[in-house]
Chain A
Amino acid sequence: MKRIGFLIEKEFKQIFRNAVLLRMMIAAPVLQLILLSYAANFEVKNLTIALVDQDHSPFSQRLAVKFRYIDNFRFLGYLPAEKQARRQLLNGTADLVLVIPPHFERDLYRDNGASVQLLINAIDGSKAGIAASYAGTIIRDFNSDVLIENFPVATVSGQRLAVVPQYWYNPKLEYRTFMVPGVLFELMILVGALIAALNIVREKEIGTMEQLNVTPIKKYQFIIGKLTPFVLIGLVQFTIGLTVAVFLFKTPVEGSLGLLYGVAFLFLLLCVGLGLLISAISETQQQAMFAAFFFLVLFILLSGLFSSTDDMPRWAQVVNTINPLKYIIEVGRNVMLKGSTFADVQPQFLALLGLTVGVISLAAWRYRKTV
């Protein structure tokens, strides 16, 4: 026990002496949590729209006005022809172009209907879909205005079937509410795993590993001694991050705080264990860093923070079964936003537990005292 204590003391001394690193470890994640949570927003706002009016009739003017004063759109101006419109789409100044064809008004009266064309920059497919639906709504509104105006008596008998959406747990559809827990855990794995990964390799590279190897310290003592300081620092980080989330972003904590800390502790153990495993199989700090980079980016992008894990192809879901970040983000969201209990998140908890035990035993097995 005493030996472990000494090792932990040594680790803490090393950490506290490196002021630059310590500052980065605490400040960088908190700063990023704040910045990135504001940035994380799939909402589509400020779409730029240009108009090509080839009809120049009172009616086309009215339609144009509809688009000019809508919150989601920013009106760029009129363009003479479709050719210029294409150029605006090409250089990215316009997201949408509404083309009102010649004889628009005449067709509307004579043929009882007319069509307009909407050109949408669709490189970002999901954004384009949303833009199209916004525009569709505006035109539907316009249609019913026209209808009521021209046929006040024969107004159609309303919609008989109403679809009522209810958004539970996040009725205002705030992005931050669901992003904050995810970003928090993401930063924890990034810092925890990376620092731990570089730690042992560094001892190898500068030769102090040899010194540790000739001490009477046991394997398990070594592992515990290396794990403890980083897990403690991680818990401090988690506490700061949680405070920021609750007080700055008003993220609710519906479920038990104890449960949240319990799972966060397990997750940290896993992160640090992962770091130790990487460092046990690497020879130089550079190798350790690249290996850590590979796994961390893999975990982060597949975690379900950016695109739903259910929509990923089968094989990606298989890869995801070993993704600790996926489980912890599910737990974080369920416990914080929905108030899930331990029974609800048991599958994720067991998966995390299994991964932790697996990773730490692998790291212990790979660590050799002999060279």
Chain B
Amino acid sequence: MNRFFAFVKKEFLHIFRDQRTLLILFGLPFAQVLLFGFALTNEIKNANIALLDNDHSVHSQQITNRLLSSGYFRLRQNLRSYADIERAFRQGSIKMAVVFPANFTNDYEHGGSAQVQLVSDASEQNTAISLTNYATVIIRSYAAEQSPQATPPMQIEVASRMVFNPELRGAFVFVPGVMAMVLLLVSAMMTSVTIAREKEVGTMEVLLVSPLNQAQILFGKIVPYLLLSFLNGCLIIALGVFLLHIPMNGSLPLLLAETLLFILLALSIGLLISSMVDSQLVAMFGSLIIMLMPTIFLSVFIFPIESMPRPLQVVSNIIPAKYFINIVKGIMIKGAGLGGLWRDTAVLAGMTVLFIGLTLRNLKPRLS
């Protein structure tokens, strides 16, 4: 046991002597969570639009005013023709053009079917759909007010209630996602280089001839990083609650325990990578390139998994962040307990055991 502590102490000394890395370790998650917590949003505000008004009437002006006073749109320019729309789209200066045809008022007031065209730049397709939807609602409500007929009989009304997130805040999605991503990558990257570095500079040999066995080496590598990362995790949770105002509806000890489990998993992934490769370069490349993008794309961080093609839904099951994001949302926002989250927890625990086992098998007492 004494040997083990000596080894842990050596690891700590390594970490604390490299102050720059230490600074990055704590500064980076802090900065990222803050940045993305505030910057990422799906709310549309002040989108640049253009107007092609061939009608120049009271109606077209009033509709335009409605659109502009909604706060979603900002008038960038007045256009004269369709060719102008094309030009503006190519430069990327506007996202949508509102077009009133020449006989709009005539059609509108004399019972024909008047048309407002919403031409949007669907190369950025998400925005195009949202803008079109917002504008459609505004224009329809204008038309409804213009024709104050008695409300039609026998109508069913819908009262929608947005459960868990009544204000529809984007931070509820992005903060758990950023949390999972930062914890996973930082923890995995840290450990992925440790064994590889010992191999590269030759000290692995020294460790192997020491009386420490593989398990002791492995856990000696894990313990210091586990403590550091856990501290990091606590910091991130505090940021989320106090600065980004994510509610804390569930039990804090449970959340901390789950965070600890997730970090342990991330560290064991790093160690597994580390035990398989010979150089730091390959270890880092592996941990960053292979994990970063799939973590962003295939967890529920940004894209809904239900909408993906079937094979990708299957692939998403091996992304650890997916389970952790689920757990964080469950505990913090929904106030769920372990009862509802045991499945996610079991998957994380199973993965951890698997990776640690594989690493132990890979850590042979001999250098090839």
Residues B139 and A36 in contact, CB atoms below 8 Å apart:
no
State whether B126 touches A308 (Cβ < 8 A): yes
Contact string against B for A residues 150-163, beta-carbon threshold 8 Å, 1 for contact and 0 otherwise: 11000011111111
A329 to chain B: closest CB distance in Å? 10
- Of the stretches B4-12, B41-49, B212-220, the one at the interface is B41-49
Interfacial chain A residues near B298, Cβ < 8 Å: 35-36, 39
Shortest C-beta distance, B49 to chain A (Å), equals: 11
Query: Chain A residues with Cβ under 8 A from B41's Cβ?
Result: 307, 311-313
**A contact residues around B108 at 8 Å (CB):** 160-161
A177-192 near B? 1/0 per residue, CB < 8 Å? 1100000001100110
Chain A proximity of B12: nearest CB distance (Å): 16
> Given A122-B162, A286-B193, do A162 and B114 touch, yes or no (CB 8 Å)?
yes
Q: Which of B186, B300, B304 counts the most chain A CB atoms within 10 A?
A: B304
Q: Is the CB of B306 within 8 A of A194?
A: no
A162 touches B115 (CB 8 A): yes
Q: Using A39-B298, A123-B329 as known contacts, say yes or no to A169 and B123 having CB atoms under 8 A apart.
A: yes
Interface residue count for A (Cβ, 8 Å)? 124
Give me the 9 closest cross-chain CB pairs, A-B, nearest first.
Answer: A125-B168, A122-B162, A167-B122, A316-B39, A170-B122, A161-B143, A122-B165, A337-B123, A115-B157
Contacts A108-B156, A294-B32, A310-B46 aside, 20 further interface pairs with beta carbons under 8 A come to A36-B297, A89-B164, A92-B326, A114-B157, A117-B160, A123-B164, A124-B300, A143-B154, A161-B113, A162-B115, A175-B126, A198-B285, A202-B281, A285-B281, A286-B21, A293-B185, A293-B292, A298-B35, A310-B45, A316-B35
Interface residues of B (CB under 8 A from A): 18, 20-21, 24-25, 28, 31-32, 35-36, 38-48, 89-92, 95, 108, 111, 113-129, 132-133, 135-136, 139-140, 142-143, 147, 149, 151-166, 168-170, 172-173, 181, 185-186, 189-190, 193, 197, 200, 277, 279-282, 284-286, 288-290, 292-294, 296-298, 300, 302-304, 306-309, 312, 315-316, 326, 329-330, 333-334, 336, 340
| A–B complex contacts, Cβ < 8 Å, 30 sampled | A18-B281, A24-B282, A39-B303, A47-B306, A91-B340, A108-B154, A108-B156, A114-B156, A115-B156, A116-B159, A117-B158, A123-B334, A124-B172, A128-B162, A143-B154, A157-B111, A159-B113, A160-B108, A161-B116, A165-B117, A166-B118, A168-B119, A170-B123, A175-B125, A178-B123, A289-B193, A292-B288, A308-B44, A333-B124, A344-B91
Question: Which residues of A are at the interface with B, using a C-beta cutoff of 8 A?
Answer: 18, 20-21, 24-25, 28-29, 32, 35-36, 38-47, 63, 86, 89-92, 108-109, 112-129, 132-133, 135-136, 139, 142-143, 146-147, 150-151, 156-171, 173-175, 177-178, 186-187, 190-191, 194-195, 198, 202, 206, 282-287, 289-294, 296-298, 300-302, 304, 306-308, 310-313, 316, 319, 330, 333-334, 337-341, 344
